[in-house]
Each structure stands twice: as structure tokens, then as C-alpha cells.
Amino acid sequence: MDDLQHLIWQGENDQVDFKQRVTQPDKIARTLVSFANTRGGTVLIGVKDDGRLVGIDPEEEKHTLELAAGFYCDPPLKLAYEEVEVDGHTILKVTVPESSHKPHFAKVKEGDWRGYVRVKDTSVQTSKMVNKAMQAEEPEFEPIPLDRHEQAVLDYLALNRRVTLRQYTKIANLSERRAYRLLVKLVIHGYLRLHDKEKEAYYTLS
């Protein structure tokens, strides 16, 4: 209980999120994905944004969370649950570990999957994350081993100023979905910057 109260006193941050209830699997999926894509985190369900406890039915919440983690996150996520009683309220503590299979995507609607990362107390879509990451004093993400497809885009950008998704699909001979996943992965890990203000988004070296 002390551990839980300490988390609540700290407030929402880059590794803690409060939810009064979980009713929409697509919305909670964005939070789950953002933690998995960044440093992991904890979702406290049955807690209002201001830290007040309201309590929940843990089985009902787990059902929605499992739906979110299994069908609205790609690749699916594995969550850990702990039920904690505080002042007569049941709080569900949900742990989302940092993933070793980044990037994960959340299903926004049919056929529309988007990447998210955690920036301070917000789940930020990866296309909007670039400026936040650039403002950070220290790099947010660790370098990772690259496969030949990922290295191909870095080699291309060593000779060319920018690359679009369409160009990359041709360069690496990949499907658009696979190419997009790899580009987002490289953005998340700090290799590329995404510029999405123009008519066609493009990527440059960080």
C-alpha cells in the first residue's frame, strides 16, 4: 500500500498514469503502447487524474485491458496485474514492461495503426514526438543493432538529404506497412527525424 500511495503522491509522469475506469480498449491501448515503446510504466486504475481514489471492479477492468493488449496493440503486450485495497477502494495496478520488440502500434480504427511514446505525463503519437525529443537535453533512446533494411535507409540518407515512405519501400523492396514500421522504429530510437508538416512526410538523419 505504501508503494501505491507513493506512486499516487508523485502524480502522473513518464512512467505512471492514472485512470478512473477503462472502458475503451482502443484508448487505453495508446497508453500501453507508449509505455512499452519508452521505458515501461504503471497504470493505476481506480484513481482520478487529481489522485483521488474511486475504486473499481478489477475483473471488469482486466477484461478490457486484455482486449486492448491482445487485439489493439501490435505486437500484442503482456501485462502484469496487482489488486490493492486502499481505504475500502480496490485499485488495479497494471505494470507494462519496456518492450524488447519495439516499436508497438495501437489500433486507432480499422486499418489504422499508430505508434506512441511516453513524453512526461502524455502518450504522444510518434509523428508529433520529434520536436519533443529534439527539445530533450539528453537522448531519450538507446542505440540498437540494425538489420540490413534499417541500415539501407541510413546509407541512403548519408548520400541524400531526405527520404519518403514511398522512396524507402522501393529502396528496400518492402511492403508499405513493413517499411513504415521500420521507419517509426528508427525515429523512436533516435536514428531518424520525421518531418510531417509538408504535404508528404519525409525522414532525415537525426
Could you tell me the mean pLDDT of each successive run of 10 residues in the chain, 206 residues long? 85 95 96 94 96 94 97 96 93 95 88 86 73 46 78 94 93 89 82 80 88
Res 128: pLDDT: 54
Q: How far apart are CA 59 and CA 192, in angstroms?
A: 41
Grid cell 502500434 is found at 105
Q: At the top level of CATH, which class does the domain 141-205 belong to?
A: mainly alpha
Q: At the top level of CATH, which class does the domain 2-125 belong to?
A: alpha beta
Which pTM was predicted?
0.69
Strand order in the sheet with 105-109: 73-74, 105-109, 112-119, 122-125
- Give me 195's grid cell: 518531418
Residue 132 CB coordination number (10 Å): 14
Res 206: pLDDT: 83
Domain locations along the chain: 2-125, 141-205
Same topology for domains 2-125 and 141-205, yes or no?
no
Q: How far apart are CA 9 and CA 52, in angstroms?
A: 10
